[in-house]
Amino acid sequence: MIRHTVVFRLKHAPGSEAEHDFLQAACALANIEGVQKFECLRQVSAKNPYTFGLSMEFADAASYAFYSDHPDHSAFVQQRWIPEVEEFMEIDYEPTGGL
Amino acid sequence: MIRHTVVFRLKHAPGSEAEHDFLQAACALANIEGVQKFECLRQVSAKNPYTFGLSMEFADAASYAFYSDHPDHSAFVQQRWIPEVEEFMEIDYEPTGGL
């Protein structure tokens, strides 16, 4: 299992229609084959600069690569993510395996 | 639901006994009342400086506060976290609620 997460802050005003529209578009990434447990989340800690997060799981590295290379993902990154996201950090998790 | 996560890097050498011992101590936080879905994870993305993560869920803000204020949590922070963690970031999530 690989859990891919990204925490981010948009250029849009909080509560705006543009914010809502971006999040709706992000949710469509859940439809790419191999994406499991997709979540769109609100980031609520004051200890970092981010306001939203996406989380999803893949069975293995091949499924993750299929997602990353998928034309729908590439189009979202180019057409929505790069122009509309102010700041972000990607964090990926795997089980520690018996630690 | 509130998902409390923290991503971090230890001062200890990767694979060391000290690293293993720290992670074992961190896992004991799962025993505090109200902690759900506790996970100790390996952070595997090259796009941030962290190497491990903890993730847990709370039913509500009161359960989260009970955990934060619990003597076992306070002792862990003072005796293990502050001396042994090089760098960290806390990220907390809630559902977006119908976005």
Which residues in A lie closer than 8 A to residue B12 (C-beta atoms)? none
Residue A39 belongs to domain with CATH number: 3.30.70.100
Please check the confidence at residue B92 and state whether its pLDDT lies above 80: yes
The encoded tokens of residue B95 equal 């559902």
How many domains would you assign to chain A?
1
Asked if the C-beta of A82 comes within 8 angstroms of chain B's C-beta atoms, the answer is: no
* Closest Cβ–Cβ partner in A42, A90, A93 for B41: A93
Encode pLDDT of A11-32 as tens digits. Answer: 999 999 999 999 999 999 999 9
Please check the confidence at residue A87 and state whether its pLDDT lies above 90: yes
Q: Would you place residue A97 in the very low, low, confident or very high pLDDT band (cuts 50, 70, 90)?
A: confident
Quick one: average pLDDT of A74-82? 98
Give the residue among B87, B72, B99, B79 at the shortest CA–CA distance from B10: B87
Q: Would you place residue A49 in the very low, low, confident or very high pLDDT band (cuts 50, 70, 90)?
A: very high
Instruction: Please indicate, yes or no, if residue B43 is contained in any of the structural domains.
Output: yes
Which residues in B lie closer than 8 A to residue A50 (C-beta atoms)? 91
Encode pLDDT of B5-36 as tens digits. Answer: 999 999 999 999 999 999 999 999 999 999 99
CA distance B67 to A16: 34
DSSP characters for chain B?
A: -EEEEEEEEESSPTT-HHHHHHHHHHHGGGGSTT-EEEEEEEE--TTSS--EEEEEEESSHHHHHHHHH-HHHHHHIIIIIHHHEEEEEEEEEEE----
Quick one: average pLDDT of A76-90? 98
Please check the confidence at residue B97 and state whether its pLDDT lies above 90: no
Quick one: average pLDDT of B38-61? 98
Quick one: average pLDDT of B48-62? 98
* Closest Cβ–Cβ partner in B40, B92, B96 for A45: B92
Domain that holds residue A35: 2-93
Instruction: Please indicate, yes or no, if residue A98 is contained in any of the structural domains.
Output: no
CB A53 to CB B91 under 8 A? yes
Asked if the C-beta of A16 comes within 8 angstroms of chain B's C-beta atoms, the answer is: no
Instruction: Please indicate, yes or no, if residue B99 is contained in any of the structural domains.
Output: no
Please check the confidence at residue A99 and state whether its pLDDT lies above 70: no
Instruction: Please indicate, yes or no, if residue A99 is contained in any of the structural domains.
Output: no
CB B3 to CB A90 under 8 A? no
ipTM for the predicted complex: 0.94
| Closest residue in chain A to residue B23, using alpha carbons only | A99
CA distances from B51 to A50, A59, A73, A90, B75 (A): 20, 20, 26, 13, 23
